[in-house]
Chain A
Amino acid sequence: MSARFPKITAGLSTAVMMLGLAACSDNDPAAAAKAEATEKPVVTVYSARKEHLIKPMFDKYTELTGVKVRYVTDKAGPLLARLESEGVSTPADMFMTVDAGYLWQASQRGVFAAQQSEILEANIPEHLQAANNDWFGLSVRARTIVYSTERVKPSELSTYEDLADPKWKGRLCLRTSKKVYNQSLVATMMQTQGAEKTETLVKGWVTNLATDPFSNDTKAMEAVAAGQCDVTVVNTYYFGRLKKKLPETPLAIFWPNQEDRGVHVNISGAGITQHAKQPAAAKALLEWLSSAEAQGQFAELNQEYPANGKIKPSAEVASWGQFKADSVNVESAGSLQAEAVKLMDRAGYR
């Protein structure tokens, strides 16, 4: 009897514990995941970069290291708001987003924890990362001029500023100023040219518009191809996608401002969160994403340029030609973004 009693107690307590565990895992997948892989941590990512552009990378990483990565995708704004309100109890270890403006904003709100990493410092150039090492760029996209090969000679084109010249009256198409890519473009222009000059320029663009701004880059390029206008400003990968679908489209890329500051570039990037539950594992993932091994594929998935300077872009991206990129730190896109939005509102750029 006395021998059986502890057994029953042990059995009972195990059952209770199991119940407790089951109850936990029922409404809490995080607990279940943790219980399953006690040795291998699970890294949790909040990502504004879309699933089809990150999943292949995470799958590969799991294959290589056994570390699982789980993620939710949404727009950067809502994810950032969620991170902030979750605070210390957030499950997120990494916040990944598109556009330097959002990275800067996340950094301003104290969402990130600075990382001291020789690997990241060696892989990612200085102007593509936060000065305080909060976040690191992982891929680069250029926002450049695309023109109609039927109606425009490349010699007519020179700079973004030139598109405000009266010779382009009724020949320019633009995407809406509500898109962050245009906000970053104008913000970096404010950084290098000053607000006043930039406002005059933006007003010039608006005067030259052939039609109301479009809701996306592809529509703007289609308008150029159809003859509604002659030039537009788009991100390189949209051009890549359109060319892939319709190779005969009479459009070509022009790299502006090669004599002065260079083509406007933006990044996608990531940082480790302040309240990460697996900071070491998340840091290892970030380092791997910046490595030579991962960078080629990371950029190629979206026809972008690798942030790691040692890695060449894919053959197709390389075929668009070499260009001088604007080396102004992408952080200014964030710090001046609100001012840029107001400036564009004043200039009547919808």
Chain B
Amino acid sequence: MANSVVPPLPGAVKKNKTAKAAQQWQRRFWRLPAWSAAFLVLLPLSVIALSWASPQTDVWLHLVETQLGSLIKNTLLLCVGVGVVTISVGVSLAWLVSVCEFPGRRWLDWALMLPLAIPTYVVAFVALGLLGYSGPVQTSLRSIFGSAFQLPDVRSTGGVILVMSAVLYPYVYMLTRSAFMSQGRGLIDAARTLGRTPSQAFWSVALPMARPAIAAGAALALMETLADFGAVAVFNYDTFTTAIYKSWFGLFNLTAAAQLASVLLLFVGLAIFTEQKARGNGRLHQLPKQQRDGFQLTGWKAWLASAYCLLIFTIAFVVPVGQLIFWVVETRLADLNSNYFKLIGHTFSLGGIAAIFTVTLALLVSFGQRQLGRYTTAGLSVRIAGLGYALPGTVLAVGIVTAFAFLDKQLVAPVREWLGLPVQQILVGGLIALIFAYSVRFFSVALGPLQSSFERLKPSLQEVAHTLGANQWQVLWRVYLPLLTPGLFTALLLVLVDVMKEMPATLLLRPFGWDTLAVKVYEMTSEGEWERAALPALSLVLLSIVPVVMMIRRSRID
């Protein structure tokens, strides 16, 4: 379907002046959510951009002379690798569980999302521990084949790609899965009756239709890859992000670090832009279908499908969690005390509040774009709002602290003084700053699932609703929300899980006493005490299973 025009609002049909003015006002109003979201992101970004005010030629020259070339090469290799692996694994799994029927499909359907709950650096450390030279695998191989036997080093480009993909494929999987599910079987069946084989139907019908979802999932995976510091640090694999941290912590030059971060951001912005241009104007709309009537796989095909899903699940979830359980048993729960339940409470409530706030914002933004007759990714404001996810977390956190400290000093302090209250920071170190930081960081995580759900809905739906006399809020509440439920739940879940394992912003911005599980994981791992980090890490995983299962139940009922 071609890019559609603005759906005519009921008021627009009557050609009188007041209606026109009202429409104008409405159009302005629906720009508001996107610009507010963009403003949230621009606040810390402007701090980072301001770093260019003082040139740091010294650091730049040093980097260009010594490392920059190999850093860029490594980063590109990593992105291409993670992109290819997450897309092929994520899409193939999504196709199998949403369209086919085979032994174990029902539980694999939700189980395959679980790796998302394990922080990347935990998987990295487990992989290194098991597969490294001194790990059990190589040690036992050496005892069989002699001491000269050696596997290729896991601390290589291939190793990093595999570890990252194991944690990040669920982004592609979840989004594509809900896309395949809402496509239903109708179109595939139509293609089959027109003489296509099942695989032709997949390549020529199902896949192109799922493209917005696949792109959104892969974009999330890649942004997280670019921003990641934990996993690459465990592998001592140098990427562009390494240079950012090196300039800051090694060369004590936060300004140069911010400059490097803004270069990274520029590339991400360009990549997003190109992707959207390449997607072109062709749009595909499809109403969600409720029935799920899978293709029954039989014989070796069925077992192959089961084996493949099980293999991925084992690598990405069973092995790392098994190692965590082993460590927890080893430490005999020594750190489990009454304080520990407070950590769980903090983790869950921060995740919940942030998820609701961020998803509401994303919903308003995407609905607003819809009202403007734009597709949800269009518009400068939306693009800006999505950039928070690609920034290395610590850099973003410092940007927010700086911006908020400035506001505290310039706005809050004078007001408090005028009121006769003692001068004190309200924003920095308060809950608001932390929730704000989470929204900035995870806005695109919430927007991705929503926009790909929105794009599958025909604009005519809204026209019909308006003809039947519904106003805009009713359209949102009674037409879109029910249709968007799967996407909405995916968004809530993704943000919740991401917030719960988020580290840099939580560390720097949490109010006194608001320690979370991720904070505990950080404290232990940074001291190299991996065994003691296992308990909070495992709790994070368990805590994330609850919403995953809830979401799956919901999407089944629908």
Say yes or no: A30-B424 contact (C-beta < 8 A), given A212-B236, A345-B66, A350-B236. Answer: yes
A178 in contact with B409 (CB, 8 Å): no
Query: Which of A28, A73, A81, A86 touches B507 (beta carbons < 8 Å)?
Result: A73
Query: Which of B128, B233, B426 touches A219 (beta carbons < 8 Å)?
Result: B128
- A113 at the binding interface (Cβ < 8 Å): no
- A7 at the binding interface (Cβ < 8 Å): no
Q: How far is the CA of A117 from the CA of B523 in the complex (A)?
A: 32
A228 in contact with B134 (CB, 8 Å): yes
CB neighbours of B313 from chain A (8 A) = none
A85 in contact with B236 (CB, 8 Å): no
Query: Which of A50, A86, A341 touches B246 (beta carbons < 8 Å)?
Result: A341
A86 in contact with B523 (CB, 8 Å): no
What 0/1 pattern do residues 383 to 396 of B give for CB contact below 8 A with A?
Answer: 00000000000100
- B483 at the binding interface (Cβ < 8 Å): no
A215 in contact with B236 (CB, 8 Å): yes
Query: Which of B134, B153, B250 touches A183 (beta carbons < 8 Å)?
Result: B250
- B269 at the binding interface (Cβ < 8 Å): no
Which chain B residues (197-249) contact chain A, with CB distance < 8 Å? 233-236, 238, 242, 245-246, 248-249
Q: How far is the CA of A87 from the CA of B65 in the complex (A)?
A: 36
Q: How far is the CA of A345 from the CA of B63 in the complex (A)?
A: 9
CB neighbours of A51 from chain B (8 A) = 515, 523
Query: Which of B153, B251, B401 touches A211 (beta carbons < 8 Å)?
Result: B153
CB neighbours of A30 from chain B (8 A) = 424, 429, 512
- A119 at the binding interface (Cβ < 8 Å): no
- A52 at the binding interface (Cβ < 8 Å): yes
B153 in contact with A212 (CB, 8 Å): yes
CB neighbours of B528 from chain A (8 A) = 216-218, 238, 241
Which chain B residues (149-178) contact chain A, with CB distance < 8 Å? 153, 155
Q: How far is the CA of A178 from the CA of B251 in the complex (A)?
A: 10
A/B pair count, beta carbons within 8 Å: 149
Q: How far is the CB of B160 from chain A (nearest CB, A)?
A: 12
A338 in contact with B236 (CB, 8 Å): no
A28 in contact with B512 (CB, 8 Å): no
Q: How far is the CA of A180 from the CA of B512 in the complex (A)?
A: 27
B62 in contact with A345 (CB, 8 Å): yes
What 0/1 pattern do residues 505 to 531 of B give for CB contact below 8 A with A?
Answer: 001101111010001000110111100
Q: How far is the CA of A77 from the CA of B504 in the complex (A)?
A: 11
A212 in contact with B155 (CB, 8 Å): yes
CB neighbours of B132 from chain A (8 A) = 219, 222-223
- B139 at the binding interface (Cβ < 8 Å): yes
A78 in contact with B233 (CB, 8 Å): no
CB neighbours of B426 from chain A (8 A) = 27-28
- A176 at the binding interface (Cβ < 8 Å): yes
CB neighbours of A288 from chain B (8 A) = none
B527 in contact with A228 (CB, 8 Å): no
Say yes or no: A176-B236 contact (C-beta < 8 A), given A72-B510, A74-B508. Answer: yes
What 0/1 pattern do residues 330 to 350 of A give for CB contact below 8 A with B?
Answer: 000000011001100110001
What 0/1 pattern do residues 80 to 99 of A give for CB contact below 8 A with B?
Answer: 01100111111100000000
A337 in contact with B252 (CB, 8 Å): yes
CB neighbours of B432 from chain A (8 A) = 27
Q: How far is the CA of A52 from the CA of B335 in the complex (A)?
A: 10
Q: How far is the CA of A264 from the CA of B519 in the complex (A)?
A: 31
Say yes or no: A87-B155 contact (C-beta < 8 A), given A73-B519, A78-B508, A345-B62. Answer: no
B236 in contact with A82 (CB, 8 Å): no
Q: How far is the CA of A105 from the CA of B66 in the complex (A)?
A: 24
Nearest chain B residue, comparing its CB with the CB of A77? B249
Q: How far is the CA of A290 from the CA of B231 in the complex (A)?
A: 37
Q: How far is the CB of A340 from chain B (nearest CB, A)?
A: 8
- B76 at the binding interface (Cβ < 8 Å): no
Q: How far is the CB of B62 from chain A (nearest CB, A)?
A: 5
Which chain A residues (191-236) contact chain B, with CB distance < 8 Å? 211-219, 222-223, 225-228
- A247 at the binding interface (Cβ < 8 Å): no
Q: How far is the CA of A346 from the CA of B63 in the complex (A)?
A: 10
A226 in contact with B251 (CB, 8 Å): no
Q: A86-B408, A178-B249, A227-B147 are in contact. List 16 more A-B contacts (CB 8 A).
A: A27-B430, A29-B511, A44-B512, A50-B526, A72-B512, A76-B249, A85-B402, A86-B425, A89-B413, A91-B425, A180-B249, A180-B250, A213-B236, A218-B528, A219-B132, A338-B251
A-B pairs with lowest CB-CB distance, top 6 = A226-B134, A341-B250, A85-B405, A222-B134, A74-B507, A345-B66
Q: List 9 A-B contacts (CB under 8 A).
A: A78-B504, A78-B507, A82-B428, A86-B428, A178-B242, A183-B250, A223-B132, A241-B528, A337-B250
